[in-house]
Structure 1
Amino acid sequence: MVSRPDGFVVLLPVKSPGTGKSRLAGLSDCERSRLAAAFARDALAACLATPAITRVVVVSDDAEFAADLAALGAETYPDAGGGLNAALRQAAAALRIGAPGLRPVALCADLPALRPEDLATALDFVASTAAPCFVEDADGTGTTLYTAWYDDFDPRFGSASAAAHTSAGTTSVPGDLPGLRRDVDDVTGLAEASALGVGLATAGALAGCAIPG
């Protein structure tokens, strides 16, 4: 029998909004910055509304924006550099001391259509196995969520991360999970997320943008 975790602690890596979403072509720097910030706020809101998630830790090198997210209910951990995966491993190692019963979950912050129901369904599957798990993105090449117990926590976000996680023996979470799979890297992804229905922060940011196409 698999011992279910006491709950989950989400590690939400967040770039400085001013440097994020450079592939949203046709938008101004200000518009991209507003959208990147809004994506993170909506992802955080979905996490905080998911009962199985006990804590959310924002991992960022932008102390000012991290503080803004902390005001919404997150905790923060500094990204000291070395890349996304290294930052996530460092944050998980720090959490292990104070939260050994919580299973760490690395979740992308560019999920404006994320719903608590999607997260709850995915985490219910995760809780049924001790194996590392990941959620493949809607394009079939990337990863939007990765989780493993501390001893096995070894995320492989980056180019072709879905294949990298599969090659490492990580279990793919089944199900439609549309909002959890639809990350936004470009205007096509943004249009698809909008069709699913985005969160309040992203809807507000989009109202002031002229989206190409």
Structure 2
Amino acid sequence: MAEPTWTVVVPVKRLPAAKSRLRGALPGVPHEELALALAADTVRAVLACPAVAEVLVVTGDAHVAAELAGAGARIVPDPPDAGLNAAFRHGAAAAGRHARVAGLTADLPALRPAELAAALSAVPAGPPGVRRFVADAPGDGTVLLAAPAGVPLEPRFGAGSAEAHAASGALPLTGDWPGLRRDVDTSVDLAAAARLGLGPRTAALLGASAAATPA
């Protein structure tokens, strides 16, 4: 079993603005509840990962902060209107420059702790002092960016982030981790994640929506 040596930074937007392309994906389910469920299932899996010593949730949303602090994460207030990469940098700074830091997106409801442990354990096996990243299922985005101790995270999340991270010197990790790679931006992504097996919060909302939708 991997040593719990990684600090994982998970930024979560304010719920009304989070996951806008998913709005209306689950009829009868408030959008904010779905956005929170995705984040809660992601953080739950990270907290259960044997390689993770601490989870830092960067957020400016009081509801998110209360929910995820109760689950065991440490809350870092999000710099107002600074954007996703600023939130990752802020969380990495809070972790300390001697920490092994990984940035993870908050929309991985099918994530398995063993997948994250395998990805993080592969980071030190690469060239020393080099950041590593995991691309999303389509291959153009990034779900995980990991930096060895003493190496700046230098996040470039956003459109085309896999190419941007590679151009910045980070190297890809290419393991077979379907839950880790399956981020959820659209209803199609949510259906794909459901086929892999969702975490309990998202699964419950999916079930509630199905029960409330006329056949």
1:174-208: CA deviation from partner (whole Å, max 9, x where unpaired): 11100000000001100100000001111111122
Deviation at 1:96, TM superposition (A): 0.8
Q: 2:7, 2:56 within 8 Å by CA — same for their partners in 1? A: yes
- Aligned-residue offset at 1:15: 1.2
- Hey, what's the Cα distance between the residues in 2 that align with 1:131 and 1:77? 26
Out of 88-97 and 166-175, give the one that drifted further. Answer: 88-97
State the TM-score, normalizing by the size of structure 2.
Answer: 0.89
Once the two structures are superposed, the pairs formed by residues 163-174 of structure 1 within 5 Å of their partners are: 163-174=163-174
- Give the alignment partner of residue 16 of structure 2, picking from 15, 18, 26: 18
SS for the counterpart of 1:70 is helix
Q: How does 1:96-175 map to 2 (within 5 A)?
A: 96=96, 100=98, 102-129=99-126, 130-149=129-148, 150-175=150-175
1:166 CA drift (Å): 1.0
Q: Which one-letter code corresponds to 2:8 in the other structure?
A: V
1:143–1:29 CA distance, 2 compared to 1 (3 A): farther
Give 5+ residue unaligned stretches, structure 1. Answer: none
Identity of aligned residues (%): 46
1:38-53 alignment, distance < 5 Å: 38-53=37-52
**C-alpha separation in 2, matches of 1:167 and 1:46:** 30
State the TM-score, normalizing by the size of structure 1. 0.89
1:20-99 equivalent positions in 2, closer than 5 A: 20-24=18-22, 26-27=24-25, 30-81=29-80, 82-96=82-96
* Structure 1: distance between partners of 2:164 and 2:3: 25
Structure 2 Cα separation of the partners of residues 151 and 103 of structure 1: 8
Q: Deviations over 1:94-141 (max 9, x none)?
A: 2216xx2x3011000100000011101101101323310110000111
Aligned length: 205
Q: What is the deviation of 1:6? A: 6.7
Q: Is the 8 A contact 1:31 1:209 kept in 2?
A: no
Can you give the 5+ residue segments of structure 2 that lack an aligned partner in the other structure? none
Describe the SS at the equivalent of 2:103.
strand
CA distance change for structure 1 residues 26 and 86 in 2, over 3 Å: closer, same or farther? closer
Counterparts of 2:101 and 2:28 in 1: how far apart (Å)? 33
Find the counterpart in structure 1 of residue 7 from structure 2: 9
Please identify, of 86-95 and 112-121, the stretch whose mean Cα deviation from structure 2 is larger: 86-95
Q: What is the aligned partner in structure 2 of residue 199 from structure 1? A: 199
In 2, the alpha carbon distance for the partners of 1:163 and 1:108 equals 17
Measure, in 1, the Cα distance between the counterparts of 2:32 and 2:206.
Answer: 12
